[in-house]
Structure 1
Amino acid sequence: MTATEPTTDGSYRNKLVAVEPGGNEFIAEEDRHGKPSQLFWTWTSPNLEFATIYVGVLAVAFYGMSFWQAVVGIVIGTGLGAVAHYFLSARGPLHGVPQMVLGRLAFGFKGNAVPAVLMSVTAGVGWFATNSVSGAYALAALFGIGPLLALVIVVLVQTAFAFFGHNLVQAFERWSFPVLAVIFAVASVAILMKSHVGAPALPSGVGGLGGFLLTVGTAFGYAAGWTPYAADYTRYLPSSVSTAATGLFASAGLFLSCAVLEIVGAASVTIGPALSKNPTEAFTGELASPIAKATLLAIAIGAIAANSINIYSGAMAFVTIGIKLPSHVARALVTVFFGVAGFLVAKWALPDAAQSYEAFLLVIAYWIGPWLGVVFADQYMRRDQRIAGFLYDRSYSNWLGLASFAIGMVVSVLLFSNQEKFVGVVAKAVPQLGDVTFFVGFLLAGGLYLLMCRSKIAAERLAV
């Protein structure tokens, strides 16, 4: 286990309109640049979009929460996701590799392919399609064009940013931040002023503890959905930067953007339904015309900001699986592949954009919960251990880590899943629990890893 880390050559550094060379190599010090504060807009901009708003809509319109109950559930769920994001982001400058490369410690080189594929599919296809649809609907409503043409425009722009790579993606998040922040701030104030925050919960929703836990789970799924990307956007920072500041700026941007817009989404439901087959138009229908048009533009820009990150990290995760491609084209080519795949899924989803959004958010949490449990348990047991020799060693295995993940995910889903297509044994017997699959998966997978992998990691600590 003394594999040499492949490294960048110092030629990329802070270039913008240049295709990022290589794939998932260690970032050499000559290529490091930036400061932790930039992470605030890196993680604010991609969440200033309609998908974030719709999490709050779900809490009130479908889960049967009053506005204030929704606020509490949103803050708890988003807060838990932001805490996880803090710790994973902080590792980027220290180790200089993408998040899924770090995952090889917990799952082994080959075993890590399982979460890497899951992340590639949910990010590069699932989230890409979800956000592309909202962006397309916004452009269609704003310019009076067909949704399919709008979808083509959105997909081409966001795929182009991700194709060039890390530096251009980070730059776009910075450029879009002031525009998105100002427009959404104005729209949020307008919605909150018209809302009826003291209105009772809708009788048609789930209600009770079950509805509250669904709210927490959905908000967590949305925020924690970014955690498998965390180190991808901090690995270029100089190794000398503060890890605490790195984690703080990343998690603060994530928490504030998600919590604020989700709360605004919850408030919008208390105003009354807006009649439209276009979900983004339904939301902006409550706003005065100039603000509504600006908000539609911001929704489209926000979708591009989110998907530039989704497709970049989805491609990065896919490259991490270990498929051998020429290093100078691997990530860029895979980016194009996911752009095409995401477009096809988004085109299929256009006729009924909101139908599967709730299920998608919860399913993300189904695998991310146990994944986080294993990753954090591994990180805890390897504290202060030198790990460089393990990350690119194709012979390194940790099958007990993969087993912990699989058991945690399968058992939690079979017992606690509460989906339209499948209801777990416990959820069926005690429906008032709502859906706590992600909590159970996290605790079970993490606990199993601590029990089963302790001796292996202790032996590795002595060996290095």
Structure 2
Amino acid sequence: MSASAEPRVAGLETRSIDYVPLDERHGKLWHLGPLWFMSNAQIATLAVGLISITGGGNLLWSLLAIVTGTLVGTFFMAFHSAQGPQLGLPQMIQSRPQFGYVGALLVWLFAYVQYAGFNVFNTILAGQALHATLHGGVKLWVLVVTVIGLGVALVGYDVIHKAERFLTYTFLVVFGIFTVGVLVNLHYPAGSFDPAGFRWTPFLAQFGVVAGYQISWAIYVSDYSRYLPPDVTVRKTFYWTYAGSALGGIWLMVLGSLLAAWAGRDFDTIRSIDAAGDTVFTGFGAVVLLFAALGLVSVTALNMYGGSLTLISGIDSFRKVRPTLTVRLVTLGVTAALSLVGALAATSHFLRNFNDFLLLVLYLFIPWTAVNLMDYYVVRRGHYAVAEIFDPHGVYGRWGLQGIVSYLAGFAAMVPFFSVGTLFVGPAAKALGGADISLFIGLPVSALLYWWLTRSLDVAAEQRLAEAEAAELDRAAHEHREP
């Protein structure tokens, strides 16, 4: 069977962290566009667009910070997408060549915390939206959203792609009307569009959070492109991912900034959406909220799916795991239960500090994305011995000191430039009036240091090993499936 054929594996997805063999590759490249559009085009993304407005910036410069931050952050995230079809592996398992079989636990732990943190926020927000429209209590709806998200994540890759395509089409109608209403019916404070209202601190704070939010998707990206045939081009994979994610992110973050400028101190995500929607016609706000809840269910499923893959990867670092449907089910259940407990126990304090959480995500994953992309595109140029990634005694070793040192050095270089609300402001950030430019420090430090430390790497030998193992890799992948 050719690599470009589109076989359909019936029933629940059985694969997890294991390699996807060529005869199971399927799907269309353009499917990445709706998936990444809808992943961003949900109302949790609204919260990312509030930083500048709440920090005293005016609307014009807030919108410019959102657009530029999205374009920069999505650039890095989209380059990860091309790794999926070429390697046939989910994203985080690809960290082993840089960090080692055990050393990759460093970034997997942070990734798992991110999945849990986002799902706590997403399920609470969905619960609030459903309570405001259908009543029944926020905690009840949090439970319902978690269960539905678990079901979608269990069925797996294909149903997630299909759900995101369906939601994209309906989003364009519902939120298209809602956006026109926001632009036409709402009134904004005097000076909102005055170019003279520029202030560095809120502008850079907004830029940093937006870029970090987009980069935070990097840990998901190959998960949803790894079933594509390997003959798809890097450029087109990048374009579809970039366009979908950037458009969805900009749209919702801009809406968040507009709503925050309009509502002022009275801004509340659910109440403000409801009130703005009702300016179109009475009851339309409830329609928007109901649809928004569906979007939050879908992104909750994405987080559970990615969290399960990360948990399996982590367990596999200590004890070899056969990647079966049973393992997927157990790890999905654990991931769902943890996020559910977190959501039910969360306080308003957590929700108020969600933006600080976004900044922490940025700090943790900037050095990782720099190391991973430098390794893939410059050092090894996409050539990996995939079978060795699953061998604790393979060529990539248990500890990848080059990756670990580069990660820690990049993170340490960023610390003086951190500016996390009232939690911590580094000395360099204080000297810049509270502006956070850590993104521009961590990326080059980690990337260039990793390149320098890996100059003596025998990439040609790894490539020869990969070619020798290629046929065996597909055969072994079929044997590892659960009967």
TM-score between the two structures when normalised by the length of structure 1: 0.90
Contact 1:133 1:350 in 2 (8 A): no
Query: 1:411 Cα shift?
Result: 3.2
2:337 pairs with 340, 353, 362, which one?
340
Query: 1:326 Cα shift?
Result: 4.3
Q: Does 1:407 align with 2:409?
A: yes
Per the alignment, do residues 353 and 135 of structure 1 end up closer, same or farther by CA in structure 2, a change over 3 Å counting? farther
Contact 1:188 1:261 in 2 (8 A): no
Contact 1:374 1:445 in 2 (8 A): yes
Aligned residue runs from structure 1 range 296-445, under 5 A: 296-321=289-314, 322=316, 323-328=319-324, 329-352=326-349, 354-379=351-376, 380-383=378-381, 385-395=383-393, 396-397=396-397, 398-428=400-430, 430-445=431-446
Letter in 1 for 2:334: F
Q: Show the counterpart of 1:240.
A: 231
Per the alignment, do residues 174 and 65 of structure 1 end up closer, same or farther by CA in structure 2, a change over 3 Å counting? same
Q: Show the counterpart of 1:115.
A: 107
User: d(CA) in 2 for partners of 1:315 and 1:207?
Assistant: 43
2:149 pairs with 158, 162, 165, which one?
158
User: d(CA) in 2 for partners of 1:23 and 1:91?
Assistant: 16
Per the alignment, do residues 147 and 408 of structure 1 end up closer, same or farther by CA in structure 2, a change over 3 Å counting? same
Q: Does 1:68 align with 2:69?
A: no
Query: 1:414 Cα shift?
Result: 4.4
User: d(CA) in 2 for partners of 1:462 and 1:184?
Assistant: 48
Query: 1:170 Cα shift?
Result: 1.6
Query: 1:19 Cα shift?
Result: 2.4
Q: Show the counterpart of 2:475.
A: none
User: d(CA) in 2 for partners of 1:15 and 1:199?
Assistant: 58
Q: Does 1:14 align with 2:15?
A: no
User: d(CA) in 1 for partners of 2:35 and 2:168?
Assistant: 8
Query: 1:350 Cα shift?
Result: 5.0
Identify the range of structure 1 (435-444 vs 70-79) with the bigger mean alpha-carbon deviation: 435-444
Letter in 1 for 2:246: F
Query: 1:312 Cα shift?
Result: 0.4
2:271 pairs with 281, 284, 298, which one?
281
Aligned length: 445
Deviations 1:192-249 (A, max 9, x none): 11344674369xxx97211111111111111111111111100101122233222211
Query: What is the SS of the residue equivalent to 1:272?
Result: helix
Per the alignment, do residues 363 and 460 of structure 1 end up closer, same or farther by CA in structure 2, a change over 3 Å counting? farther
- List alignment gaps of at least 5 residues for structure 1: 1-11
Aligned residue runs from structure 1 range 18-37, under 5 A: 18-37=11-30
User: d(CA) in 1 for partners of 2:420 and 2:126?
Assistant: 29
Contact 1:82 1:255 in 2 (8 A): yes
Letter in 2 for 1:421: L
Contact 1:195 1:270 in 2 (8 A): no
Identify the range of structure 1 (436-445 vs 374-383) with the bigger mean alpha-carbon deviation: 436-445
User: d(CA) in 1 for partners of 2:298 and 2:190?
Assistant: 34
Contact 1:41 1:174 in 2 (8 A): yes
User: d(CA) in 1 for partners of 2:163 and 2:187?
Assistant: 36
Letter in 1 for 2:277: L
Q: Show the counterpart of 1:103.
A: 95
User: d(CA) in 1 for partners of 2:168 and 2:382?
Assistant: 36
Query: 1:463 Cα shift?
Result: 6.9
Query: 1:83 Cα shift?
Result: 1.1
Q: Does 1:452 align with 2:466?
A: no
Q: Show the counterpart of 1:6.
A: none
Q: Show the counterpart of 1:137.
A: 128
Per the alignment, do residues 352 and 137 of structure 1 end up closer, same or farther by CA in structure 2, a change over 3 Å counting? farther
Contact 2:35 2:164 in 1 (8 A): yes
Contact 1:22 1:330 in 2 (8 A): no
Query: What is the SS of the residue equivalent to 1:211?
Result: helix
- List alignment gaps of at least 5 residues for structure 2: 1-5, 466-483
Identify the range of structure 1 (392-401 vs 431-440) with the bigger mean alpha-carbon deviation: 431-440
Q: Does 1:184 align with 2:175?
A: yes
Identity %: 25
User: d(CA) in 2 for partners of 1:293 and 1:437?
Assistant: 40
Query: What is the SS of the residue equivalent to 2:425?
Result: coil
User: d(CA) in 1 for partners of 2:208 and 2:295?
Assistant: 23
Query: 1:161 Cα shift?
Result: 0.8
Per the alignment, do residues 390 and 417 of structure 1 end up closer, same or farther by CA in structure 2, a change over 3 Å counting? farther
Deviations 1:97-155 (A, max 9, x none): 111122212111111111112111211x1111111111111001011221111111111
TM-score between the two structures when normalised by the length of structure 2: 0.86
Deviations 1:60-99 (A, max 9, x none): 1x22221110111111111112211221101211111111
User: d(CA) in 1 for partners of 2:40 and 2:366?
Assistant: 20
Letter in 2 for 1:290: G
Query: 1:458 Cα shift?
Result: 5.0
